[in-house]
Amino acid sequence: MTDTRTIEIEVLRYNPEKDGEPHFQSFEVPFTHDTSVLQGLQYIKDHLDGSLTFRWSCRMAICGSCGKMVNGKPELSCHTFLRDYYPGKVRIEPLNHFPVIRDLVIDQSDFFEKKLPSIKPYVVPKEEKPLSAGTYLQSPEQFHKYYQYSQCINCLLCYAACPQYGLKPDFTGPAALALMHRYNADSRDKGWDVRSEVLNAEEGVWGCTLVGYCSEVCPKHVDPARAINQNKVNSTMDYFGVLKFIMPKGGG
Amino acid sequence: MAQVKTYVRPMQGWWRKNPFFVRYMIREGSSVFLAIYALILLVGLLRLSQGEAAWNGWLAALTHPVSILFHWLALLTVGYHAYTWWMVAPKTAPNIRFAGREIPEMLITGGGMLATLGASVVVYVIVRWM
């Protein structure tokens, strides 16, 4: 399959120094069977308009940098192929719900500087052990309790899929809450108490109305909607003071 | 992040832009019909406590075409609500393991739907013939 076809790519353009608001610009881009949407954007930058600005790095769906709205759906652009949109056109926008800095580049600082640090994304042990005490042991069963939630690559597709985050930007949001569950569910971690204030808040798990689109778009099958809604039960038990009996490793 | 001028896109009409969100809004909206239906039943209970005449008045009001139209609409929307309820149940169900394995999502959704259907048939038979 080496035959080259041409597809129309419509890109949202925004130059903060000139534009009051964004507009769309169309490009005719040649593609083959294995051309990703990201490669389409790279073709535009290399051959048609060098000023087009977008983030990318690994090109293999693990760095989480190249998330864009592709025809209205949050996607990793390296993981999405132009052939699937032909003969229609492809409309590429920056990830929804984030402020646009330039063209397809969004301001991620709300997540990386506020939301993510707020959930303390690291193992909080009950007490620090000296190195000489050796490693923490964990059974495969204990490992599987959090493994799925540890697969998050911080690509923010779930935030672009979450209307609650768009409407109420204070909502801690899917990835941060799923990562909070990843640590709370870890047998080595005793950090429930230091994270519970964020979890129990109106902007924590209770800010979720189970739209469920976050889990639908997650490229790593983390299932943030599941992580959040399981913790509505934990939050309720915490409120009534019964969590510490059920979760002996955490809560108190 | 340094101070930069950014553009924040408006949220207006967000739910019309994606069929997934349209289905979500119908799911949430269908609960309004459920609430109204429950209120009508509660009013019936109140009228029952007020004596035979009041009760018969309530029964008569139910036969009004508007009431019948509403109840058909409520049946449809509550049916859809039940379907969506079980579709999201695997997300809200506690983490139950059976014989060392997690219960598959299909079993929670399918089992719930079958239980709803079974319970509806049982209630219908009791109300209609018993």
Same-domain pairing of A237 and A128: yes
Cβ-Cβ contacts under 8 Å, B4 against chain A: 16, 101, 107
The predicted pLDDT at position A252 comes to: 38
Confidence of residue B105 (pLDDT cuts 50, 70, 90): confident
CA of A240 vs chain B CAs: smallest distance (Å): 17
Same-domain pairing of A24 and A130: no
Same-domain pairing of A75 and A96: yes
Q: Which of B5, B8, B94 is opposite residue A230, by nearest beta carbon?
A: B94
Q: How many residues does chain A have?
A: 252
Same-domain pairing of A138 and A215: yes
Q: Which of A100, A109, A232 is opposite residue B1, by nearest beta carbon?
A: A109
Kindly determine whether residue B5 and residue A100, on different chains, have CB atoms separated by under 8 Å.
no
The predicted pLDDT at position B60 comes to: 95
| Ranges of chain A whose pLDDT falls below 50 | 250-252
* pLDDT surpasses 80 at B100: no
The predicted pLDDT at position B2 comes to: 56
CATH number at A196 reads: 1.10.1060.10
Give the model confidence (pLDDT) of A75-113 as tens digits. Answer: 999 999 999 999 999 999 999 999 999 999 999 999 999
Cβ-Cβ contacts under 8 Å, A99 against chain B: 6-8
The predicted pLDDT at position B97 comes to: 73
Retrieve residue A79's tokens. Answer: 């993981």
Retrieve residue A215's tokens. Answer: 């889990």
* Residue A231 maps to a domain: yes
In this structure, the number of other CB atoms found within 10 A of the CB of residue A184 comes to 26
Same-domain pairing of A79 and A136: no
Same-domain pairing of A221 and A153: yes
* pLDDT surpasses 50 at B126: yes
- B26, B91, B101: best to mutate for the A interface, most A CBs within 10 A: B91
Domain ranges of chain B: 14-129
Domain termination residue (choose one: A60, A77, A106): A106
* Residue A251 maps to a domain: no
* pLDDT surpasses 80 at B3: no
* pLDDT surpasses 90 at B98: no
CATH number at A62 reads: 3.10.20.30
Domain termination residue (choose one: A89, A106, A123): A106
Domain termination residue (choose one: A106, A123, A157): A106
pTM assigned to the model:
0.90
- Cα(A219)–Cα(A157) distance, integer angstroms: 8
CB-based contact A158:A218 (threshold 8 Å): yes
Same-domain pairing of A97 and A113: no
In this structure, the number of other CB atoms found within 10 A of the CB of residue A153 comes to 19
* Residue A34 maps to a domain: yes
Which residue type sits at A109? S
* Residue A252 maps to a domain: no
The predicted pLDDT at position A249 comes to: 56
- A141, A211, A246, A247: best to mutate for the B interface, most B CBs within 10 A: A211
Q: Please provide the CATH number assigned to the domain covering B14-129.
A: 1.20.1300.10
CB-based contact B14:B55 (threshold 8 Å): no
Nearest CA in chain B to A22: B7
The vertex-A168 CA angle with A162 and A173, nearest 5°, equals 45
